[in-house]
Amino acid sequence: MTEFKKKPEMILTIAEALREASADLASVSMTARLDAELLMAHVLKIEREALLLGAWSEKAAPAAFFEVIKRRKQNEPVAYITGYRDFWSLRLVVNPSVLIPRPDSETLIETALSYFQKKNFTPTKILDLGTGSGALLLSALTEWPDAKGLGIDCSDKALSVARFNAEKNSLQMRADFRLGYWGDNITESFDLLLCNPPYIAKETMMPRDVWQYEPHQALFAGKDGLADYRHLIPEIPSLLTERGIACLEIGFDQAEAVSAIAAKAGMESQIYRDIEQRPRCILLF
């Protein structure tokens, strides 16, 4: 792992600091240049686009930039350093109490939108199990402005983040959040159920920034990664309205196994792929 090549007493321009930081982060990140740009923009309190398009390159790099680069070199995720992650059309606050929302998870929203458009049906009640930051529920509420939603999580700390994100995005009047475990003790029925459950097998090797910092209860699901599907899927029929559907995230190699669990529970399923053309969402009805 290299260190910044220039001596501390020498003032680096922003352009120089970005080059140095990108090289320095290459050993810990596959997106070293992007990480450096996002962190520089964060320190400067501007958007990355403004950094790239503005006349910033010859200005002096702020000292705080080198401090956040040190944190990234210790594998702390960029989203936890900046305190936010963009997801769908929203900017969401995140911290180590919640999983960092990934673009792959947007496949669930895309799948639900496409399905309901084809059915000429608008969902009015939405359930998000394991809501975490509230990413899926709040994104869905932005697409269906007449809908109301319920987010369930087993973590009080995660629910605090979700409630904050609802208020931050002016959705608090349409989003309710409760402490709970999957569908246990829910008596209402919903037009759309969203869920990104833990689905990583216990012994799977993970990147250090994920393993060291993100909540394990949101990642790992038993020896084969299917434990939470086995608990959750049999509950789904009782949680849906007559025209309701469920969209669950799956691992890229789990389509067959999760479809079999759904079939055993008496549900039909369809598999949808993410932007990388990997199986990512299972639609159940």
Query: What are the tens digits of pLDDT across the range 73-127?
Result: 999 999 999 999 999 999 999 999 999 999 999 999 999 999 999 999 999 999 9
Task: Please tell me the predicted confidence (pLDDT) of residue 4.
Answer: 54
Greater confidence (39 vs 2) lies with 39
**Prediction pTM value:** 0.93
Q: What is the spatial distance between Cα 24 and Cα 97, in angstroms, rounded to a whole number?
A: 28
In which residue ranges of the chain is CATH 3.40.50.150 found? 96-284
Q: Please state the rounded mean pLDDT for residues 35-48.
A: 98
In which residue ranges of the chain is CATH 1.10.8 found? 14-74
| pLDDT(270) > 70 | yes
Q: Please state the rounded mean pLDDT for residues 29-49.
A: 97
The sign of the CA dihedral 175, 152, 253, 101 is: positive
Task: Please tell me the predicted confidence (pLDDT) of residue 23.
Answer: 97
| pLDDT(71) > 90 | yes
Q: With CA atoms as reference, report the closest residue to 138 among 122, 153, 150, 156.
A: 150
Task: Please tell me the predicted confidence (pLDDT) of residue 7.
Answer: 46
Task: Please tell me the predicted confidence (pLDDT) of residue 226.
Answer: 98
Task: Please tell me the predicted confidence (pLDDT) of residue 3.
Answer: 53
Could you tell me what percent of the chain has a pLDDT over 70? Answer: 96
| Backbone φ, ψ for residue 28 (5° rounding) | -120, -10
Model confidence band, residue 1 (pLDDT cutoffs 50, 70, 90): very low
| pLDDT(210) > 80 | yes
| pLDDT(9) > 50 | no
Task: Please tell me the predicted confidence (pLDDT) of residue 10.
Answer: 64
Output the DSSP codes for 7-38.
-TTSPPBHHHHHHHHHHHHTTT-TTHHHHHHH
Q: Please state the rounded mean pLDDT for residues 170-177.
A: 98
CATH architecture of 14-74: Orthogonal Bundle (1.10)
Rounded to the nearest 10°, the torsion over CA 107, 283, 251, 181 is 100
Q: What is the spatial distance between Cα 119 and Cα 113, in angstroms, rounded to a whole number?
A: 10
Model confidence band, residue 5 (pLDDT cutoffs 50, 70, 90): low
Q: And the tokens for 171?
A: 């959705």
Q: What is the spatial distance between Cα 257 and Cα 230, in angstroms, rounded to a whole number?
A: 10
Coil vs helix vs strand at 131: coil
CATH architecture of 96-284: 3-Layer(aba) Sandwich (3.40)
